[in-house]
Chains A and B, each alone.
Chain A
Amino acid sequence: MSAATSPAASAAPAGKRRGYDGVAVTVPVTIPYVRYSTRSAHWWLGRALAELIRGAGIAKGEVDGVCVSSFTLGPDTAVGLMQHLGMSPRWLDHIPMGGASGVVALRRAARAVQAGDADVIACIAGDTNHVDSFRNTVSQFSRFAQDAVYPYGAGGPNASFALLTDYYMKHYGASREDFGKLCVAQRDNALKNPHALMKKPLTLQQYLDARPITDPIHLFDCVMPCAGAEGYLVMSEERARALKLPYARVRSTIERHNAFPEDPIQFRGGWAMDKDALYEHAGVAPADVDFLETYDDYPVINAMQFEDLGFCAKGEVAGFIRANEFTIDGSFPFNTSGGQLSVGQAGAAGGYLGFVQALRQLTGGAGRTQVKDAKIGVVSGFGMINYDRGLCSGAAILERGATQGEAA
Chain B
Amino acid sequence: MTEPLVKPKKKNPVLRTRLATLPPVPRSRTALGLTRAAAEGVFEMQVCADCGTVQYPPREVCGSCLSEHLAWKPVDNRGELIATTTLRHSNDLYFRERLPWRVGTVKMAAGPSVVAHVHEDCAEGGSVRLTLKLDRSGQAVLHALPEKDTPNMNDAPQLRESTCDPKFRRVLVTDGKSATGMAVAKAMLEAGANAVFLGDASTWKTVPAFDKLVASDPRLQVVELDVTDTDSVDRLAASIGGKVEILVNTADYLRDGGILNRKDVNLARDAMEVNVLGLMRLAQAFGPGMCFRAADGSNNAVAWVNILSIHAHAALPARGAWSASKAAALSLSHTLRAELRGAGVRVMNVFPGPVDEEWEQLTPPPKIAPSGLAKAIVKGLQDGVEDLYVGDIAEELRTRLRENHKAVERELGQ
Interface residues of A (CB under 8 A from B): 4-5, 134-135, 138-139, 143-144, 146-156, 158-159, 162-164, 166-167, 211-217, 261, 264-265, 387-388
- Pair B91/A152 contact, Cβ less than 8 Å: no
Interface residues of B (CB under 8 A from A): 23-24, 26-28, 31, 51, 53, 56-58, 63-65, 82-92, 94-95, 101, 103-105, 107, 113-117, 124, 135, 137, 139, 141-142
> Which residue of A has the minimal Cβ distance to B106?
A264
> Which residue of B has the minimal Cβ distance to A6?
B64
Query: Which residues from chain B contact A214 at a C-beta distance below 8 Å?
Result: 85-89
**Closest approach, in angstroms, between the C-beta of A235 and any C-beta of chain B?**
41
- Pair B83/A152 contact, Cβ less than 8 Å: no
- Pair B83/A147 contact, Cβ less than 8 Å: no
**Closest approach, in angstroms, between the C-beta of A129 and any C-beta of chain B?**
14
**Closest approach, in angstroms, between the C-beta of A137 and any C-beta of chain B?**
10
* Cα separation A217 to B89 with both chains bound (whole Å): 11
- Pair A148/B114 contact, Cβ less than 8 Å: yes
- Pair A212/B115 contact, Cβ less than 8 Å: no
**Closest approach, in angstroms, between the C-beta of B13 and any C-beta of chain A?**
32
CB within 8 A of A151: which of B58, B83, B141? B141
Given A139-B91, A163-B115, A264-B107, A151-B64 contact (CB < 8 Å): no
Of B31, B84, B92, the most chain A CB neighbours within 10 A belong to: B92
- Pair A159/B103 contact, Cβ less than 8 Å: yes
Given A155-B103, A213-B89, A148-B83 contact (CB < 8 Å): no
* Cα separation A251 to B117 with both chains bound (whole Å): 46
- Pair A265/B90 contact, Cβ less than 8 Å: no
* Cα separation A388 to B113 with both chains bound (whole Å): 9
Query: Which residues from chain B contact A264 at a C-beta distance below 8 Å?
Result: 82, 105, 107, 113
* Cα separation A128 to B87 with both chains bound (whole Å): 27
- Pair A153/B51 contact, Cβ less than 8 Å: no
* Cα separation A317 to B95 with both chains bound (whole Å): 35
13 more A-B contacts (CB under 8 A) besides A148-B114, A387-B57? A4-B64, A5-B64, A5-B65, A149-B115, A151-B139, A153-B95, A166-B84, A167-B105, A212-B86, A213-B88, A214-B85, A214-B88, A265-B113
Given A152-B115, A167-B83, A265-B105 contact (CB < 8 Å): yes
> Which residue of B has the minimal Cβ distance to A166?
B83
Of B23, B91, B141, the most chain A CB neighbours within 10 A belong to: B91
* Cα separation A149 to B141 with both chains bound (whole Å): 10
Given A5-B64, A147-B28, A387-B57, A152-B86 contact (CB < 8 Å): no
Chosen A-B contacts, 7 in total, with CB atoms closer than 8 Å, are A139-B26, A148-B57, A152-B142, A153-B92, A163-B84, A214-B89, A264-B107
**Closest approach, in angstroms, between the C-beta of A268 and any C-beta of chain B?**
15
* Cα separation A153 to B103 with both chains bound (whole Å): 7
> Which residue of B has the minimal Cβ distance to A140?
B26
Query: Which residues from chain A contact B84 at a C-beta distance below 8 Å?
Result: 163, 166
Query: Which residues from chain B contact A164 at a C-beta distance below 8 Å?
Result: 83
Given A264-B107, A388-B113, A153-B87 contact (CB < 8 Å): yes
- Pair A143/B115 contact, Cβ less than 8 Å: no
Query: Which residues from chain B contact A387 at a C-beta distance below 8 Å?
Result: 57, 115
Query: Which residues from chain B contact A151 at a C-beta distance below 8 Å?
Result: 23-24, 27, 135, 137, 139, 141
Query: Which residues from chain B contact A4 at a C-beta distance below 8 Å?
Result: 51, 64-65
- Pair B90/A153 contact, Cβ less than 8 Å: yes
> Which residue of A has the minimal Cβ distance to B30?
A147
- Pair A154/B95 contact, Cβ less than 8 Å: yes
CB within 8 A of B83: which of A155, A261, A265? A265
**Closest approach, in angstroms, between the C-beta of A71 and any C-beta of chain B?**
15
**Closest approach, in angstroms, between the C-beta of A258 and any C-beta of chain B?**
10
**Closest approach, in angstroms, between the C-beta of A135 and any C-beta of chain B?**
5
Of A139, A148, A217, the most chain B CB neighbours within 10 A belong to: A148
- Pair B139/A156 contact, Cβ less than 8 Å: no
* Cα separation A4 to B107 with both chains bound (whole Å): 21
Query: Which residues from chain B contact A135 at a C-beta distance below 8 Å?
Result: 91
**Closest approach, in angstroms, between the C-beta of B27 and any C-beta of chain A?**
5
**Closest approach, in angstroms, between the C-beta of B62 and any C-beta of chain A?**
9
Of B27, B57, B82, B101, the most chain A CB neighbours within 10 A belong to: B57
Query: Which residues from chain B contact A154 at a C-beta distance below 8 Å?
Result: 23-24, 90-92, 94-95
Given A264-B113, A388-B115, A155-B90 contact (CB < 8 Å): yes
**Closest approach, in angstroms, between the C-beta of A306 and any C-beta of chain B?**
21
- Pair B26/A146 contact, Cβ less than 8 Å: yes
* Cα separation A217 to B124 with both chains bound (whole Å): 17
Query: Which residues from chain B contact A212 at a C-beta distance below 8 Å?
Result: 86, 88
CB within 8 A of A5: which of B53, B57, B113? B53
- Pair A156/B104 contact, Cβ less than 8 Å: no
* Cα separation A138 to B51 with both chains bound (whole Å): 33
Of A144, A154, A159, A217, the most chain B CB neighbours within 10 A belong to: A154
> Which residue of B has the minimal Cβ distance to A151?
B24
* Cα separation A216 to B53 with both chains bound (whole Å): 33
* Cα separation A340 to B139 with both chains bound (whole Å): 36
- Pair A138/B105 contact, Cβ less than 8 Å: no
* Cα separation A217 to B88 with both chains bound (whole Å): 10
> Which residue of A has the minimal Cβ distance to B48?
A5
Query: Which residues from chain A contact B56 at a C-beta distance below 8 Å?
Result: 148
CB within 8 A of A167: which of B53, B82, B90, B117? B82
**Closest approach, in angstroms, between the C-beta of B4 and any C-beta of chain A?**
25
Query: Which residues from chain A contact B94 at a C-beta distance below 8 Å?
Result: 154
Query: Which residues from chain B contact A213 at a C-beta distance below 8 Å?
Result: 88-89
**Closest approach, in angstroms, between the C-beta of B85 and any C-beta of chain A?**
4
**Closest approach, in angstroms, between the C-beta of B210 and any C-beta of chain A?**
44
Given A148-B57, A152-B141, A214-B85, A163-B105 contact (CB < 8 Å): yes
* The 7 residue pairs across chains A and B that have the minimum distance between CB atoms: A154-B92, A162-B85, A148-B57, A147-B31, A167-B83, A264-B107, A163-B83
* Cα separation A291 to B124 with both chains bound (whole Å): 38
Query: Which residues from chain B contact A166 at a C-beta distance below 8 Å?
Result: 83-85, 124
Given A5-B51, A153-B101, A163-B105, A215-B85 contact (CB < 8 Å): yes
Query: Which residues from chain A contact B58 at a C-beta distance below 8 Å?
Result: 147-148
